[in-house]
Amino acid sequence: MLKYIIKRLLLGVLVLFGTSILIFAIARVVPGDVATIALGSRATDSAKEALREELYLNDALPVQYVKWLRDVLHGNFGNSFITKRPVSDDVRQFLPATAELALVSGIFMIIGTFGLGLLAGRYKNTWVDGVIRVLSYVGIALPAFVVGTFLLLLFGYALPILPVLGRLSTGVTAPPDITGLYIIDGIITGNFSVAWDAFLHLLLPAFALALGPLVQDARVLRSSLVDNSHKEYMLVSTGYGLPGSLLTRKYLLKPSATSAITVMGMDFASLLGQAFLVEKIFNWPGISRYGINAMLNKDLNAICAVVLIIGLLFFIVNLAVDLIISALDPRMRIGGSK
Amino acid sequence: MDGRVLNIEDLSIWYKTYRGHSKVVDHIDLFVDRGEKVGLVGESGCGKTTTMKTILRVIDPSIIDIPNGKIEFNGKSVLGMNKEELLELRRKGASMISQSPMSALNPVFTIGQQLMDIIKYSGQYPGASKQQMVEVAKEAITSVMLSDPERIMESYPHQLSGGMRQRICIASSLVTTRDLLIADEPCTALDVTIQDQIHRMLRELVEEKGRSLIMITHSLGVARELVDRIYIMYGGNIVERCRTKDLFRNPSHPYTIGLMECVPRLSGGGLSAGIYGYVPDYVNPPEGCRFCPRCKFATEQCRTMRPPHVEIEPDHFVSCFQYAKTAGEGGAAGHE
Amino acid sequence: MQENELKKKKKGIFSPSTVENLKIYRYKFSRNKLSVVGFVLVCISVFFALFAPYIVPHPEHIGAFVDYANAGQAPGAAYWFGSDNMGRDIFSRVIYSFRGALLMSIVVLVIAVPVGTILGLIAGYHHGTWADTIIMRITDVFLSVPALILALCIASILKPSMMNSMLAVTIMWWPWYTRLVYGQASSVSGEYFVKNAELVGASKLHIMLKEILPNCLSPILTKMALDVGWVILMGASLSFVGLGEQPPTPAFGQMISDGAGYMPDLWWMTIFPAIGVAFMILGFNFLGDGIRDMFDKGGH
């Protein structure tokens, strides 16, 4: 098992290394002069030359890459063309907001998938199942940014009971920075009203992100529950007189959960992608909003940093999913006799 | 009726399919007395397993219909049971050994976890400590001739061989006391040497504790070794029933005779022709006798009318028109 | 179960003709009513896409057209879906947007599927060699970051346009097919019929295209049908942030994003494009499910 994890980690490092080459290449094939893009056309030649020096633009491409990577490994992504600050400072400032949003969406996704999936499996072919099925079509058909737009309008105008923009209401000061996650910081420092305010602000964007994946994954869980409930081992266990709740909770759920968890892992990728749009819609001050603004303004250093960080995050999530699945399914972690 | 563990009368079971009802079990009668070993013989797909699963009511009720008939277990109607009574039946009344050991064990729990749940919920060890239940489980594993029960308890099904899994299945049926054991072709997936061992073990375990056994098999040879009485099932009907020795002395239904010819003999010219054709289409079964399309003695009557049950000798019933006119005489006709 | 086996046996005896195969496919496809709904939705989408300029009530509203006198009309007889802030007919613009969305998914799949398939075939057939390692690690790299993010990246670095957004999505799309075909091809390449072909001296090209590829076709087709919806979604996402089709030519994402600025008063500016994109995505998803059922070996 340990060997497997180490192998995965090494492979992950290798792939992230490849990702860095890819994103560096994308950032350098930008049409036009990088220095001009960064500083605007009115910049003086000497300023441009200084920036070229800073970005190693006068070197050959492979040399540029090696020098850039050396800096990146030291945590130095260069300066942002827009904020003029070190990108690493920006990342440190914006990352926690996205982490909090992704975490809460992830929790919504897990609760929703298992809640709705179990309900649909339990009441299969009844109206409950039907409603969940229709919801899953809605989830497929409406991309997160459309859901986000509708929620923003609904709660911004028609039903102003939930805050729609930002991480905190105006006038509420952020809790002391410990983890950077406002809810947790608020609870740790005893500022429960701040934590609550932060939570309310999270609800809509997190829901917009989680809705599509969760209703679809609930259907995946439902169908694997239904498939497995016809398996011979379920009939056998039923035949031994085990109580129904134990059968569902233990004997049926555990083998069925793996497929749903696998797709949840994959859907987390689309969630991270859609976060780029949803954070923009809800003006959520996270790394994805920072990233999309960087992209729209060709802030090359910031783009590289954001993509690498998302890649790292995605890798960690995938690894976690694999570990959970091998914990659930012994066939994944122990070889058989044959 | 006193010592009758299981009594099935006029039972039909229909699967709901997109083409209509698939009438896989059609008006069957079957009983098992206390301490008796009964064989249910027929080729694959003739309704044996469906009947047995219905006794324990483990088939998803949304996919089947039971239009008529009754199943009584120890005098109590199984079809009318409520949830608690059903649990009681499954925990103390009957248990079933599945025909597919490779898929009968839950892949994500250890053998120990699965056995312990069966013991715990059987209600037969009230107040037993966990340690005591572990001992019961180990004993059950030892009783099916598996060594190193500790290691097996900690194993997952995929770590065991097919034969070991089959023994575990038997062990889990025997770990708690039940009146009736239903063994559904327990050896189809195993090689011959193990088959023999397991059959002997089954017989001993059943006889030792005075239980009843229903042995489902498609092999008359196996039935001959193991059971007192035999039911021959074809296409959802019981076509012949009698004591084992009577069946081999005087097989009477054309289907039974065909089955007998399928058993390869060491002396005599190799494999016989067997029975031509397939089991019938259950959605639109033949109107009269279901065996009629494959029967070389079939007459016009067979095509249109259901054959009666004829007692050709004491306790020997055959469902065929050949015997309807004069019992005994037709038996000879069946042989040649 | 038994019935099915029986059918298989019969097939073995009578060796089914292509016509019979098609009949089975049609039966399996239409067994699920939603597949039929999907097929109808897709047909309508294709019809809209092909004939948009000829069937919409106000073809001129698709371009740079301004009619402030009729701006912000609610849905009604004159403007079925209402008119936008510049007085353009939303209905005409929504219908026209089907064109770009369908064009995009066709272009992306027509390029990405063969590229991904060929790479997957090469890697899968040369399982365990350096070719396998290089191709599959590069694939891993492309899949290491959520596709939408890299597509946004590429589209933003280039000049925002329909062409470049298609390019960006295409660059992100082939790895999925490489991975899919790789898995299939590497398992098939151990089979006897491949070994046989090698023994009789068939060329590698022949083995890959004639022996292995046919065994990968049904998952590829299924994935393609489901992917059309995803490409449309991704295209809409890109155009939502202004990286797709450029105004005045309409596109779903762009219209939704424009409309959001005029909410809640001109709600129709947002709702109808959203319905349009949902219509297409749902249609292709249902159709994809039907195609999956069609190739499904089991089932009754």
pLDDT at site C6: 40
Cα separation values, C206 from A150, C115, C143, C209, Å: 53, 18, 30, 5
d(CA C268, CA C88): 12
Residue C20 or residue B132, greater confidence? B132
Chain A CB contacts of B90 under 8 Å are 238-241
Please write the tens of the pLDDT for every residue from A59-78: 888 898 999 999 989 888 88
Supply angle C-alpha A103, A105, A108, rounded to 5: 110
Phi, psi for C238 (deg, rounded to 5): -65, -45
Do C2 and B18 count as a contact with CB atoms less than 8 A apart?
no
**Contact partners of A by the rule of 3+ C-beta pairs under 8 A?**
B, C
CA pair distance B112, A152, nearest whole angstrom: 53
Residue A245 domain flag: yes
Residue with tokens 């597919």: B100
Q: Please, which contacts does A60-65 make with residues 24 or more away whose CB atoms are closer than 8 Å?
A: A61/A28, A64/A24, A64/A28, A65/A21, A65/A24
Residue spans of beta strands (DSSP E) within A243-308: none
CA–CA gap between residue A301 and residue A312 (Å, rounded): 17
User: Any chain B CB within 8 A of the CB of C27?
Assistant: no
Q: Which residues of A touch B16 (CB under 8 A)?
A: none
**In this structure, what is the dihedral angle of CA atoms B93, B96, B97, B103, given to the nearest 10 degrees?**
-130
Angstrom distance (rounded) from CA A67 to CA A62 = 9
- Tokens 């199943």 label which residue? B71
The dihedrals phi and psi of B169, each to the nearest 5 degrees, come to -60, -45
Say whether pLDDT at B274 is over 60: no
A226–C contact, CB cutoff 8 A: no
Q: Does B89 touch chain A (CB under 8 A)?
A: yes
Instruction: Note the pLDDT of residue A159.
Output: 82
Instruction: At B30, list the tokens.
Output: 């079957």
pLDDT given for residue C5 in this prediction = 41
- Phi, psi dihedrals of residue C204, rounded to the nearest 5°: -60, -40
Looking at this predicted complex, what is its ipTM?
A: 0.86
Whether the pLDDT of residue B269 is over 60: the answer is no
Task: Name residue A237's amino acid.
Answer: S
Q: Give me the count of residues in chain B.
A: 336
- Determine which of B55, B108, B120, B124 to mutate to test the interface with A (most A C-beta atoms within 10 Å): B108
- Would you say residue A118 has pLDDT above 60? yes
B60 contacts on A by Cβ (under 8 Å): 229-230
CA triplet C44, C45, C50: central angle to 5 degrees?
100
C31 contacts on B by Cβ (under 8 Å): 18
What's the whole-number mean pLDDT along residues B137-148? Answer: 87
Q: Give Cα separations from A109 to A100, A101, A219, A287, C140 (angstroms).
A: 14, 12, 13, 21, 25
What pLDDT does B2 receive? 53
Q: A86: which strand partners? A: A79
The sheet with strand B316-319 has its strands ordered as B94-97, B180-184, B212-217, B37-41, B229-234, B237-243, B316-319, B309-313
Q: The pTM is what?
A: 0.83
Element (H, E) at A10: helix A2-28
Number of neighbours of residue C282 by Cβ within 10 angstroms = 21
Q: Is the pLDDT of residue B294 over 50?
A: yes
Query: Does residue A22 lie within any of the structural domains?
Result: no
* pLDDT value at residue B325: 64
List the CATH number of the domain containing B221. Answer: 3.40.50.300
Angle, helices A300-328/A2-28, rounded to nearest 10 degrees:
160
| pLDDT tens readout for residues B298-328 | 888 888 888 888 888 888 999 988 887 654 4
Residue that wins the pLDDT comparison between C2 and B182: B182
Which residues in chain C touch residue B49, judged by CB atoms under 8 angstroms apart? none
CA distances from C6 to B45, B99, B261 (A): 11, 21, 23
Amino acid identity for residue C254 in this structure:
Q
Within 8 A of C9 by CB-CB distance, chain B residues are 278
Distances (CA, A) of A275 to A201, A207, B69, C180, C230: 15, 11, 61, 27, 16
Smallest CA-to-CA distance from A239 within B122, C284, B68 is with B122
**Residue B272: what pLDDT?**
47
Show the domain range for B158: 4-327
Q: Does A143 score more than 60 pLDDT? A: yes
- Greatest CA span in chain B, whole angstroms? 67
Write down the mean pLDDT value for chain B: 83
Under 8 Å CB-to-CB from B17, ≥6 apart: which residues?
B283, C300
The total of structural domains in chain A comes to 1
Q: Omega before A31 cis (within 30°)? A: no
CA distance A35 to B130: 74
Which has the closest alpha carbon to C242: A280, A142, A299, A81?
Answer: A280
Specify if A9 maps to a domain: no
Nearest CA distance, C185 vs chain A (angstrom)? 22
Number of domains in chain B: 1
Q: Which residues of A touch B (CB under 8 A)?
A: 125, 229-244, 246, 250-251, 254-255, 328-331, 334, 336-338
CB atoms C141 and A19 under 8 Å: yes
Per the listing, tokens 């899949």 go with C143
When CB atoms are compared, the residue of B106, B122, B172 closest to A255 is B106
* Assigned domain for B335 exists: no
Check if the beta carbon of residue C28 is closer than 8 Å to that of residue C294.
yes
- C-alpha–C-alpha distance, residues A135 and A149, integer Å: 18
Task: pLDDT band for B71, please (50, 70, 90 cuts).
Answer: very high
From the list C1, C6, C300, the residue facing B278 with the nearest CB is: C6
- CA dihedral (C27, C31, C33, C38) positive or negative: negative
The region of weakest confidence among A232-246, A301-315, C50-64 is C50-64
Å between B97 CA and nearest CA of chain C: 21
Residue A202 confidence (pLDDT)? 92
List the domain range (segments joined by +) for residue A285: 96-296
Residue B334 lies in a domain: no
Q: What is the pLDDT of residue B263?
A: 64
Half-sphere exposure of C43 toward its Cβ, with a 13 Å CA cutoff?
A: 6
Q: Has residue B145 got a pLDDT over 70?
A: yes
User: On the CB side of C14, how many CA atoms lie within 13 Å of its CA?
Assistant: 10
Long-range contact list for B281-288, CB < 8 A, 24+ apart? Answer: B281/C3, B282/B15, B282/B22, B282/B23, B282/B24, B282/B235, B282/B236, B282/C3, B283/B17, B283/B19, B283/B20, B283/B21, B283/B22, B283/B23, B285/B23, B285/B26, B285/B235, B285/B236
Is residue B336 predicted with pLDDT exceeding 50?
A: no
The answer to whether the CB of B319 falls within 8 A of the CB of B308 is yes
pLDDT per residue rounded down to tens, chain C (300 residues): 344 444 443 333 344 456 777 777 777 777 778 888 889 999 999 999 898 888 888 788 787 777 777 777 778 777 788 887 778 888 888 999 999 999 999 999 999 999 999 999 999 988 888 989 999 999 999 988 888 999 999 998 888 889 999 999 999 999 999 999 998 888 888 788 888 888 888 888 888 888 888 888 888 988 888 889 889 999 999 999 888 888 888 889 999 888 888 877 788 888 899 999 999 999 998 888 888 878 765 444
C300 touches chain B (CB under 8 A): yes
Q: Which residue has the tokens 């698939």?
A: B22
Residue B332 binned pLDDT confidence (cut-offs 50, 70, 90)? very low
Q: Is the pLDDT of residue A53 over 80?
A: yes
Q: Is residue A43 part of a domain?
A: no
> Contact A276/C158, CB-based, under 8 Å?
no
Q: What integer pLDDT is reported at residue C14 of this predicted model? A: 41
What CATH number does the domain containing A160 carry? 1.10.3720.10
Looking at residue B315, its amino acid is D
pLDDT at C2: 42
Query: Rounded distance, CA B298 to CA B278, Å?
Result: 16
**Residue-by-residue DSSP string for B150-201:** HHHHH--GGGS-HHHHHHHHHHHHHSS--SEEEEESTTTTS-HHHHHHHHHH
Beta carbons of C295 and C224 less than 8 angstroms apart: no
Q: Does A234 map to a domain?
A: yes
Give yes or no for residue B260 having a pLDDT over 90: no
Cβ within 8 Å, pair C300-B279: no
Binned at pLDDT 50, 70 and 90, residue B278 comes out as: low
Q: B96 at the A interface (CB within 8 A)?
A: yes
| Per-residue pLDDT, B283 | 82
Rg, C-alpha atoms of chain B: 21
* Rounded Cα distance, B146 and B160, in Å: 11
Query: Residues of C with CB below 8 A from B22's CB?
Result: 3
Q: How far is A226 from chain B (nearest CA, A)?
A: 11
Residue A271 lies in a domain: yes
Q: How is residue A14 written in tokens?
A: 């290798």
Neighbours of A158 (CB within 10 A): 9
Contacts of B18 in chain C (CB under 8 A): 31, 300
C157 and A16: CB-CB below 8 Å?
A: no
Q: In the prediction, which pLDDT does C11 show?
A: 38
Q: Determine the angle formed by the axes of helices A287-296 and C147-157, rounding to 10 degrees.
A: 30
What is the C-alpha to C-alpha distance for residues C140 and C152, in angstroms, rounded to an integer?
19
Task: Please check whether residue A218 is in contact with residue A136, taking contact to mean a CB–CB distance below 8 angstroms.
Answer: yes
B116 phi/psi in degrees, rounded to 5? -60, -40
| Substitution target from B24, B278, B282, B284 for chain C, most C beta carbons within 10 A | B278
Report the C-alpha gap between C4 and C166 in whole angstroms: 45
Pairing of strands B37-41, B212-217: parallel
Q: Are the beta carbons of C102 and C236 closer than 8 angstroms?
A: no
% residues pLDDT > 70 (chain B): 90
A143 touches chain C (CB under 8 A): yes
